[in-house]
Structure 1
């Protein structure tokens, strides 16, 4: 097993991507230090403690993003820190306090703790496509987005895309800190993450898919989803540590689809679930305006899960947790 004898840290371990990351790290033989906001909240801890290998190789630590030094004990002795912890909120009253400070200061606090650890080989940061795609002057219809794209903070602010701003500023701060302090940082930039849920609470993207299926309510006004499977995202984080050649950032989007295409797949798999004639016609869906390059992620060894599989596994998982009824 690749991870045998290696100690790694996962911040924000109770989250959607992070829970899968902890699971896959344990499956590979790693010893995992996992941070959560509260050790007293079973919703943050029980599903992690129930994972295979958790009893032998998982330790939970309480840590707070905005408290400097909070991550010192969790990262001590680790060869890699996977920093996934960051608030995911699309509507906020106070963007600075609710999103930007925890994302930026939190990232710097984790990196400051990491910088004290001589055994540390690399930090893998969970960024987002939100830090890639908000920029003016998009080229012609059919363009391909890739890792050379960076969101423009002033445009994020102008459009009040506070989550996008928080992820853009956090990634930027992390890259600068790593450069100034001479350590290795790799960023993973996932799109709209779907797939089975390990944690007991509903995360934002799973809720978005559920809303789309249940009420046909658009999560995005343009109806465009940059879909990626949560298992692929977690695997990409591990490969970004294990592959010494890994560098810079990696866009993680399996396929860009319109909501109509998602609903057609759901209707095909679960004919009783979708009550709308427009999903049943065989007409071609209007092409998406752009795609996201998978080339760099594939050099890591990522094999993208087909969207039909991810959508089916999402629905089955929501059903299993009694969040969707047929």
Structure 2
């Protein structure tokens, strides 16, 4: 189809890998930003990658939080899909390990994109948590919520806060810098589905399928089991579909399943 070049971050993750494969299958060339050569090897050896190896290249970005970290990676790209951000995994310092990496990683790639006029659009993985109000009231994907105030009572609250902060700083970036590219945030509910890169029990337990498996495995878990879910393949599809020039930029898209369908997700 296109042959245009996409810089993609987070390609070793659950959603990131499916999005990478989706982009390749739609004819895009993908430059995957990875932290190390070992991470690249895992993507290259995966079954779903094999038909598209001639469309896939890698660039090493050891620390995405550093100013200018993506300056070289963004050269000559048409689009950016930014999926790399901390998950809701337990940590002893939410601010250091969840909040700040989400903010700095997003701003780092946006400011690198600002230096390269070839960039037409940036698609960012956000979350429905970014627009979810504290008080029960109607909201949509373009709702604006205030910056949260810590400390955070649990890991998921910290994760939700990180998504709110990242979204709000993205809006600030648009207002201040008026970039030549447009920005779309994709806001899924809880993402479930097969993770091809998870080849060990530990890897399965480290991803977003973890909470969905809690009732099956009988694991004692302090967090509630999500009631609103969507399939990883559908969320990946939305990320890549958003690159289409016909899709209006500087707009957000939510992704969710009807309750009845959610219970039948693999």
User: Normalising to structure 2: TM-score of the pair?
Assistant: 0.86
CA 1:70–1:168 in structure 2 vs 1: closer, same or farther (change >3 Å)? Answer: same
In the alignment, structure 2 segments of 5+ residues that lack a partner are none
Greater mean deviation of Cα atoms: 11-20 or 235-244: 235-244
Distance in 2 of aligned mates of 1:78 and 1:120:
6
Partner of 2:232: 230
* 2:15 corresponding residue in structure 1: 17
Deviation readout 1:32-89 (Å, 9 max, x if unpaired): 0001112134675345586044320101111121222221222211111001000103
Partner of 2:3: 5
Is the alpha carbon distance of 1:180 and 1:47 closer, same or farther for their aligned partners in structure 2, counting shifts above 3 Å?
farther
Equivalence for 1:269:
none
Corresponding residue number in structure 1 for 2:56: 58
More relative contact order, 1 or 2 (CA 8 Å, 6+ apart): 2
Query: What are the equivalent positions in structure 2 for 1:315-326 lying under 5 Å apart?
Result: none
SS of the residue aligned with 1:251? strand
Residue 40 of structure 2 contacts residue 58 of structure 2 at CA under 8 Å; is this kept in 1?
Answer: no
Between the aligned partners of 2:4 and 2:54, the Cα distance in structure 1 is 13
**Alpha-carbon separation, structure 1, partners of 2:143 and 2:66:** 32
How far 1:91 moved relative to its partner? 2.1
Number of residue-to-residue matches in the alignment = 255
Cα distance in 2 between the residues matched to 1:130 and 1:47: 34
Q: Say if 1:48 and 1:58 are closer, same or farther in 2 by CA, change over 3 A.
A: farther
The structure whose Rg is larger is 1
Tell me, in whole angstroms, the C-alpha distance in 1 between the residues paired with 2:47 and 2:108: 26
Aligned to 2:184: 186
Following TM superposition, by how much is the alpha carbon of 1:235 offset from its aligned partner in structure 2, in angstroms?
A: 0.7
In structure 2, distance between residues paired with 1:47 and 1:171: 34
Cα distance, 1:68–1:242 mapped onto 2, change above 3 Å: same
Q: Against the structure 1 CA distance between its residues 49 and 103, is the aligned structure 2 distance closer, same or farther, given a 3 Å change threshold?
A: farther
Stretch moving more, 42-51 or 179-188: 42-51
CA spacing shift, 1:240–1:179, aligned 2, 3 Å: farther
Give the corresponding residue for 2:216: 213
Q: Which runs of 4+ in 1 moved over 6 A?
A: none
Distance in 2 between residues matched to 1:33 and 1:115, nearest whole Å: 18
Q: Separation in 2 of the partners of 1:256 and 1:8? A: 34
Deviation at 1:193, TM superposition (A): 0.3
CA distance in 1, matches of 2:149, 2:7: 34
Distance 2:47 2:68 in 1: 25
RMSD across aligned C-alpha pairs, in angstroms?
2.4
Q: Structure 1 residues 59, 189: CA separation in 2 closer, same or farther (over 3 Å shift)? A: same
Question: 1:194-209 alignment to 2 at 5 Å?
Answer: 194-200=192-198, 201-202=203-204, 203-209=206-212
Q: Using the alignment, how far apart are the partners of 1:211 and 1:149 within structure 2?
A: 31
